[in-house]
Amino acid sequence: MQAKTRDTVVVETKDKKLNGILMPVPETEKDIVILKLESGYNIGIDKKNIKAIKLVKTFERKKEKTAEVKLNKKLPTISILHTGGTIASKVDYKTGAVSAKFSPSEIIDMFPELKKIANIKSRKIASMQSEMMRFVHYNLMAKEIEKEVKKGVNGIIITHGTDTMHYTSAALSFILEDLPVPVILVGSQRSSDRGSTDAGLNLVSACYFIANSDFADVAICMHENLNDESCLILPALKTRKMHTSRRDAFRPINTTPIARVNFNEKNISFMKKDYDKKNKNKKLNLKLFNEKTRVGLIKTHTNMFAEEFLAYKDFDGLVIEGTGLGHLPNEEIDEYTKENKKIFNALSDMIKKGLVAVMSSQTIYGRLQMNVYTPMRELQEIGVLGHLSDMTAETTFIKLAWLLSNYKKEEVKQLITKNLRGEISERVEDKTFLS
């Protein structure tokens, strides 16, 4: 009988025998066998050096008992749509196997607080790392959201990988027009099997917020700080991941959070008064992405070359992360800066041929002001847009792609700096810096 993943085996190589458990092997490393040794460490063994793999014990999957989920007519109904398994997954550290939980009963078993908050519907719509997403996935999510809205649910939660969650929240904000119920994206910096996990509080807080508020828009729900006390409801178009691993990695940019949720105290405190409210009379309309739209995102730096910009000559749009107020190296000032003029000429030619170029700032906070210095005024003269915008580069990228998907280019040029969904602040308050 051939050994399979999670079976206990003896691997015989040319010079030794190794006891352990067969582990899953990544698609890119099919020429090796990964063995979890009795010490708990994993070892990779080149298949060329293996003489035999002998089965010692077949892995036996135990059937887990799950609680029956009963409908409570007094509670609202919330649909949880999963796009990845982290927030609802557990790792078996003995075998290294990851098991994802998606059914309503499994979610209730993991987070029993939910059954007192709402009737939970739960299903998987995708299973992928968030950095693998493309525009088509935003469309697929929107269509699944539309199905749940038509079923009459009171709110929807999207579980999502944290790395590009702010891209997805921005995309859904633009796609979902006249949204009658809340759509809250929830992620987890730490997997749910770990003692330091943020999965439970994030998910439970999102459910509590949907069930006990009149909010009806797209937002993100994540930890407010390192304590397990409260979560913030963050604006979908003005939020950014600001740390690789902290549980409070998501912060609002140039604005304040929408609300604070303290589930332990059963309290919701709104920080914003102006927000879209639940309205069953609204009819959801989807304005989807054209999946073939090509938009680039380039970060300016010293010692740039025209070829870096010309790489996007056949694209529909380009977002430029400029320095400071909206700079890029576009002016020849001495014998060593001739390349800067080539950059300016290349960008000018690309715009004349139809590229829509939009500036954002790599400073993250603050507003562009492209009238202050001559080089920036010259960029505006050749058609670089973005003056007075305070959108993050990520939101600018998503908005430009969405506009190009739904409007003619001349309309795009007018709309890119117009506030459509709350992506551009009327004014930036000092207290929002690093808040």
42/46 Cα distance (integer angstroms)? 13
Tokens of 418: 């117009």
Catalytic residue (choose from 101, 115, 241, 399): 241
22/5 Cα distance (integer angstroms)? 5
DSSP state of 68: P
Q: Measuring CA to CA, how many Å separate 93 from each of 41, 193, 198?
A: 10, 10, 19
Catalytic residue (choose from 162, 255, 392, 396): 162
113: closest CA among 190, 208, 194?
208
- Residue 238, classed as helix, strand or coil, is coil
Catalytic residue (choose from 77, 83, 86, 197): 86
Q: What is the largest CA-CA distance in the chain?
A: 77
Strand spans (E) along 72-230: 77-82, 89-92, 97-100, 119-124, 155-159, 176-177, 183-186, 218-223
- Is 86 annotated as catalytic? yes
Residue 45 burial (10 A CB sphere; 0-12, 13-18, 19+)? middle
Q: 86-98 burial string, b = 16+ CB within 10 Å, else e?
A: bbbbbeeeebbbe
Q: What are the backbone dihedrals phi and psi of residue 140, each rounded to the nearest 5 degrees, phi first? A: -60, -45
| Residue bearing tokens 């790792």 | 91
| First-last CA distance in the chain | 60
- Is 217 annotated as catalytic? no
In this structure, are residues 24 and 5 in contact, taking their beta carbons and an 8 Å threshold? yes
Looking at the DSSP bridge assignments, the partners of residue 262 are 267
Q: Measuring CA to CA, how many Å separate 412 from each of 199, 309, 352, 405?
A: 39, 21, 15, 10
- Is 162 annotated as catalytic? yes
Q: 241-279 burial string, b = 16+ CB within 10 Å, else e?
A: beeeeebbbbbbbbbbbbbbbebeeeebeeeeeebbebe
The H helix count followed by the E strand count for the chain is 9, 22
- Is 178 annotated as catalytic? no
DSSP state of 296: E
Catalytic residue (choose from 5, 90, 109, 163): 163
Sign of CA dihedral 422, 426, 428, 431: negative
297/75 Cα distance (integer angstroms)? 45
Tokens of 346: 């290349």
List active site positions: 86, 162-163, 241
